[in-house]
Structure 1
């Protein structure tokens, strides 16, 4: 080695440092790759992404290869630096070479390339994958021996290297990914994706039309009144019942009714024959499951029943779809039931209004993990039916009871925080809301 000149030794040292930086940077780049973007690029035919994905299928082999190369070049650099130090400074050159090489390797072969790779992993990892793929084949016997030794030690601690880390996402992790997507996903699309993830947390009871608001045809009434109900109806599908909703015969489609009316063939018996058997839904069915149930049963309307089989309300396919995409209608009067804005920036809200509907339409943040209506929220907090004028605080919202009857809070005055006010198109209306069966 004494025959090798100092310039050549410096050249060899520089080469070892560059190789060390390449190994260090590529290791960080490959390990910090976005696995889902890598899979997408791989499926799109990106060569570097395909090779990187195959290498990362067995990270123990990849790490063994990288560390084998990195340690070889670092040891070689140390030997060359020691030779240079002895030639330049004599025996003290060993110490000088050790200190200098430590600083140089730390800055130029570790911190700098790893920081660059962490900031731009794809620019480092994909070109490196082209090098590591053939290199792994060439050095496979050595890598295998190293891995066998390392994996044997891991098994002593109950770790199986064959079980590569699963990179599946939970719904909450996926929610974070969608929320952090920023400009890559339009805001409206983000809201829709998050609404889909929320469907498993909500049940049909959360979005159903309560039984006291179900509009249908009571065939127990005189026939002229039944005909008038049909004429005045604004919905496409109607429940057909006898006296009360508990005596349900089924669902009639107005298209078929109009066909009989036009032929002057409609009577009570004909109307009953048109009724399709009702479809019942347990009240605790999650929305995502009920969406599939509607699809499988080829249904659009279901009657929500409790554990005793009593009808509690009505849910439609459109109710569930509106949880994802928002209200279909552009009429602000139908966004939420009976909400009126007053001059003092307060709102008069019907006691039967759904808290979820209020939050969605008004941008409020009323609690929805307990009662589902404004009346239920108030009675849960007060544990009694309050008198008009009673006030209570629910979070940052001030609720004042405006009108009650024997067993129900009919109207509530809501004063939301200043940041939650909506002056225009807030969903207040003098009319009843449109039914989702339209």
Structure 2
């Protein structure tokens, strides 16, 4: 049989197999690149193709395994058939070499590059168009793919690598964060929106101890003061809710709300001396300092309360946290007419900042668009003490994380003011006294 006759008989089969392989490659790329949000929206609108895609994406590992398995079966089958046919026309190893060259070119161009390029360009449309054949590929080859995954896990187990059958290919939060960062770099997401979306994703990773008002900064009122003195202290406070203590600042007996105080004054006819402060106090709500912000936000909404006192594992008061503190982690600083115009960060002409030691690292990063780590310390002063492993003296200078920190003011053992430089060159010394 002549070579031309062999190729003429082989061509229709190769075209069919390579076309099928190309469709499967396009399905793989489009399914993984399709917008999950748009597919869920289309499913809610009754789109059946989107529903099939969401069903398959719910077990992404099984879907990809089935697609890869079916694609390899087709490509290997087409290569074996071509090798068998050409080996009959060309003696020795020449036929196998020719078949390898031909199939490599055909598979790479027509079964990989071309369909995947089209699928990336129109991922959502291609995924919906190929949802039915892909669904049946997963139904047929899915059990075999699960078997292959089981073999892989058993093979990796002796090396100390354990993968559960439920292991996700992508973590949802990291996928969203990566998409936000990408669109921000492309100029499609503004910096403010990027920070807000990042703040939402960070809520479950942060504890209330990282955003609370420290106990040294809490405005409190002595419950043993006279009603007139309590009213005066409440008027002088910039807050609508103030804790009251008796004897010791650790002994919080209640929380006084400005609205409750006004109502009591109205009921007494304006006679302050007749006020019974203890009767209008609200019961204090104590929460552990390890509560993450996401859980605390849900607790605030469920309890319809905006104010909680934070205690450590021994029950000692550590600070207080409000709904506003958590919202500020999402939307940034919320100022009202009673807030100070200066939030503890004062920019200097040389690009440095004079910052209060109590300012949180997260707030400073947001204000200056810096990237100082906040894993080991919450405040700027805490970061300097953690890195220096000592309580610095006034005038001492340190360089950590590409910033120069100079202690400007210190009260007893507390660093109250620092000067922090703009990011330094990578060649700058790691620390200096």
TM-score normalised according to structure 1 size: 0.74
The equivalent position to 1:105 in structure 2, one of 103, 106, 112, is 103
Deviation digits for residues 94-119 of structure 1, max 9, x if unmatched? 97765554433322234333012333
- State the partner residue of 1:207: 211
- Label 1:381 to 1:118 Cα distance change in 2 as closer, same or farther (>3 A): same
How far apart are the structure 2 equivalents of 1:132 and 1:367? Answer: 45
How far apart are the structure 2 equivalents of 1:157 and 1:290? Answer: 41
- State the partner residue of 1:284: 290
Deviation digits for residues 165-208 of structure 1, max 9, x if unmatched? 74452644553344335566655443323222222332111111
How far apart are the structure 2 equivalents of 1:321 and 1:256? Answer: 25
Query: How far has the Cα of 1:280 moved from its partner?
Result: 0.7
Aligned 8 A contact 2:79 2:100 in 1: no
- Label 1:239 to 1:136 Cα distance change in 2 as closer, same or farther (>3 A): closer
Query: How far has the Cα of 1:256 moved from its partner?
Result: 2.2
Query: How far has the Cα of 1:250 moved from its partner?
Result: 1.2
- Label 1:301 to 1:125 Cα distance change in 2 as closer, same or farther (>3 A): closer
Q: Does 2:251 match 1:253?
A: no
- Label 1:69 to 1:324 Cα distance change in 2 as closer, same or farther (>3 A): same
Aligned length: 401
Q: Which protein is bigger by CA-based radius of gyration? A: 1
Q: Does 2:34 match 1:37?
A: yes
**3-state secondary structure, aligned to 1:284:** coil
Q: Does 2:20 match 1:18?
A: no
How far apart are the structure 1 equivalents of 2:233 and 2:334? Answer: 26
Q: Does 2:430 match 1:417?
A: no
Deviation digits for residues 298-343 of structure 1, max 9, x if unmatched? 3211111122322121110110111122222388975873333345
Query: How far has the Cα of 1:230 moved from its partner?
Result: 2.8
Query: How far has the Cα of 1:251 moved from its partner?
Result: 1.4
The equivalent position to 1:401 in structure 2, one of 407, 411, 430, is 407
Query: How far has the Cα of 1:287 moved from its partner?
Result: 1.5
Deviation digits for residues 348-385 of structure 1, max 9, x if unmatched? 22233333322222333333222323333333344444
Query: How far has the Cα of 1:410 moved from its partner?
Result: 2.6
TM-score normalised according to structure 2 size: 0.74
Q: Does 2:112 match 1:114?
A: yes
**3-state secondary structure, aligned to 1:369:** coil
Query: How far has the Cα of 1:226 moved from its partner?
Result: 2.6
The equivalent position to 1:176 in structure 2, one of 163, 172, 178, is 178
Aligned 8 A contact 2:220 2:242 in 1: yes
How far apart are the structure 1 equivalents of 2:202 and 2:235? Answer: 39
RMSD: 4.2
**3-state secondary structure, aligned to 1:370:** coil
Deviation digits for residues 187-239 of structure 1, max 9, x if unmatched? 54433232222223321111111122212333433444333223333322222
The equivalent position to 2:330 in structure 1, one of 319, 324, 340, is 324
How far apart are the structure 1 equivalents of 2:38 and 2:200? Answer: 26
- Label 1:156 to 1:344 Cα distance change in 2 as closer, same or farther (>3 A): closer
Aligned 8 A contact 2:286 2:308 in 1: yes
- State the partner residue of 1:350: 356
Query: How far has the Cα of 1:277 moved from its partner?
Result: 0.4
Query: How far has the Cα of 1:283 moved from its partner?
Result: 1.6
Query: How far has the Cα of 1:397 moved from its partner?
Result: 1.7
How far apart are the structure 2 equivalents of 1:71 and 1:380? Answer: 60
How far apart are the structure 1 equivalents of 2:192 and 2:296? Answer: 24
- Label 1:41 to 1:366 Cα distance change in 2 as closer, same or farther (>3 A): closer
Aligned 8 A contact 1:338 1:349 in 2: yes
Correspondences of 1:47-86 after superposition (within 5 Å): 47-51=48-52, 59=63
